[in-house]
Amino acid sequence: MVSRVVSNAVWSPWRELARFQNEVGRMLHEPIRPNASSDGPAFNIYRNDRGSVITAELPGIDASSLEISVSGDVVTIQGKRVAEANPETARVQRRERNAGEFKRTLKLPYRIDAGKTEAVYQLGVLSVTLPSVQDEKPHQIVVKSV
Amino acid sequence: MNSNLNATAPHSTNRCHGHCETRKGHATEERSASKVFVPQVDIVESDDRITLVADLPGVDQETLDISVEKNVLSLRGTVKPNIPEGYQLAYSEFEVGNFERSFTISNDIDRAGIEAVMKDGVLRLTLPKAQHAMLQKIPVKTVS
């Protein structure tokens, strides 16, 4: 299981690392495209002050096999891509796409509002909206004088 | 190689296509949208057809262009940048871009019979073999 800790303090180093990877990829003339494997799918994370949206490219997945669970500040995305069924007489000439189960867990720097979490699967792209819990207002404590 | 369908070298499609030159001051999202990636494919040959399956996440039937010119089959998928409204990219493991790849097909493929189905970001292309290319069994009669 892959677990990545993402907090406010480390946003920028992650971004730097991604940028460096992209640079290396460009130098090698081969675009880096991580894909669904046992390591889990590649994520893009979008943020604003109310929460975040995780997107992942997961083409050819039965939406009912996708399972998204939220607990506190941790979100887990798992699913399965079924391998192509080919007749026995068929000759495989190229197999670049991979299949199998994947699971990825991500810790966010805030408590996720599980009730408002939404997931949409469209054109092979999964988007999970994870709002933060908003109702944590500071408590006013009244000091009684005795 | 005894194949009716050959994939060209991936690096040949990793080049700029018109709008790669981005003007200064444009958002990163717009720049990354003009990137071109090589989609991953499976190619399976059976007696009467070749099936090509390609991963094209973010592409639908409207934004997919398939063409056959002479013996080159080209796939081109355009992906709209899908940035959630009101959010900013904070961490990125993959880039969003268009897809392009071409394949060399032999004369044994029946061009008119090529069929394409797009579902959940996966393209399934069926390339039937022309009648003359199919393995034909000739029954041997016994003469008494």
| Interface ipTM | 0.72
Range of the domain at A43: 36-84+98-131
pLDDT score for B6:
67
CA dist A19 and A28 (Å) reads 14
Q: What is the mean pLDDT of residues B91-97?
A: 91
pLDDT score for A34:
47
* Under 8 Å between Cβ of A35 and A98: yes
B69 token code pair: 């010119």
The residue to which tokens 């399965």 are assigned: A80
pLDDT band, very low/low/confident/very high, at A25 (cuts 50, 70, 90): low
Residue A34 burial (CB count, 10 A): 14
In a domain, A16, yes or no: no
Residue B69 burial (CB count, 10 A): 8
The residue to which tokens 């939220």 are assigned: A70
In a domain, A140, yes or no: no
Question: Angle A37-B115-B74 (CA atoms, 0-180°, nearest 5)?
Answer: 70
pLDDT score for A83:
86
3-state secondary structure (DSSP) of residue A123: coil
Taking 70 as the threshold, does the pLDDT of residue B27 lie above it?
Answer: no
Residue A44: list chain B partners with CB under 8 A.
Answer: 89, 91-94, 96
In a domain, A64, yes or no: yes
In a domain, A22, yes or no: no
DSSP state for residue A146 in the 8-state scheme:
-
User: CB–CB of A124 and B7 under 8 A?
Assistant: no
Number of domains in chain A: 1
In a domain, A124, yes or no: yes
* Under 8 Å between Cβ of B60 and A123: yes
Taking 70 as the threshold, does the pLDDT of residue A6 lie above it?
Answer: no
pLDDT score for A11:
59
User: CB–CB of B91 and A15 under 8 A?
Assistant: yes
In a domain, A41, yes or no: yes
What tens digit of pLDDT does each residue of B7-16 get? Answer: 554 433 333 3
CATH of the domain at A47: 2.60.40.790
Residue A8 burial (CB count, 10 A): 10
The residue to which tokens 């670049």 are assigned: A96
pLDDT score for A85:
80
* Under 8 Å between Cβ of A43 and A106: yes
What tens digit of pLDDT does each residue of A64-123 get? Answer: 999 999 999 999 999 999 988 877 788 999 999 988 999 999 999 999 999 999 999 999
CA dist B63 and B54 (Å) reads 15
A83 token code pair: 């391998």
From chain B residues 98-127, the ones with a CB under 8 A of any chain A CB are 119-122
The residue to which tokens 């880039």 are assigned: B95
In a domain, A114, yes or no: yes
Q: Does B70 touch chain A (CB under 8 A)?
A: no
Q: How far from A97 is each of A3, A59, A90, B69, B126, CA to CA, in Å?
A: 24, 10, 17, 26, 17
Q: Does B140 touch chain A (CB under 8 A)?
A: no
* Under 8 Å between Cβ of B64 and A33: no
pLDDT score for A35:
45
* Under 8 Å between Cβ of A107 and A74: yes
In a domain, A5, yes or no: no
B5-133: in CATH 2.60.40.790: yes
Domain boundaries, chain B: 5-133
pLDDT score for A26:
56
Positive or negative: CA dihedral A9, A10, A16, A18:
negative
